[in-house]
Amino acid sequence: MRERHPSRWIEFKETAARRFPDKLYATINSKGEFVINLNTYVLLKKPQAVVLLYDRETRTIGVKRSHVEVPNAILVRRRHDRYNRVFRCKPFLVKHGIDIQQTVQFPTAVIDTAGILILNLREMVLSTHMPRKNTKRR
């Protein structure tokens, strides 16, 4: 078999989707549903509600802990008790011209020193569905 010269290889350098239960995990789908894993929820100090922020220049979304009394706060709901939390805000995406066609993930998500979850739209990747370990096959 003929070997290829190493200089011809083109490395795939796009950020890959990942799911680690102890890391930050956030997705957004086309319906405006934001999903965060339980670890991210805990690191945000288990908010009852959040407010969404947007920086047009850097194309980043900020998710800031809030209280239900705040008029623009979005309620955080349980989706699956042991896995994640969800909050919905399609009008936020529409207002800022953020077009999400499929579920996307933010593998470079961080929580800054002010406690804001930073989701960089320039680094989002398509999310892949990974089956849970405890699901039963039929």
Residue 51 lies inside a defined structural domain of this protein:
yes
Residue 138 lies inside a defined structural domain of this protein:
no
Residue 122 lies inside a defined structural domain of this protein:
yes
Domain that holds residue 75: 26-126
Higher pLDDT, residue 16 or 67: 67
pLDDT above 50: residue 138: no
Q: Model-level pTM greater than 0.75?
A: yes
Q: pLDDT tens for residues 46-60?
A: 999 999 999 999 999
Residue 1 lies inside a defined structural domain of this protein:
no
Residue 61 lies inside a defined structural domain of this protein:
yes
- First vs last Cα of the chain: how many Å apart? 44
Q: pLDDT tens for residues 25-40?
A: 999 999 999 999 999 9
Burial (0-12, 13-18, 19+ Cβ within 10 Å), 76: buried
Residue 45 lies inside a defined structural domain of this protein:
yes
Number of domains forming the structure of the chain: 1
Residue 133 lies inside a defined structural domain of this protein:
no
Amino acid in position 121: L
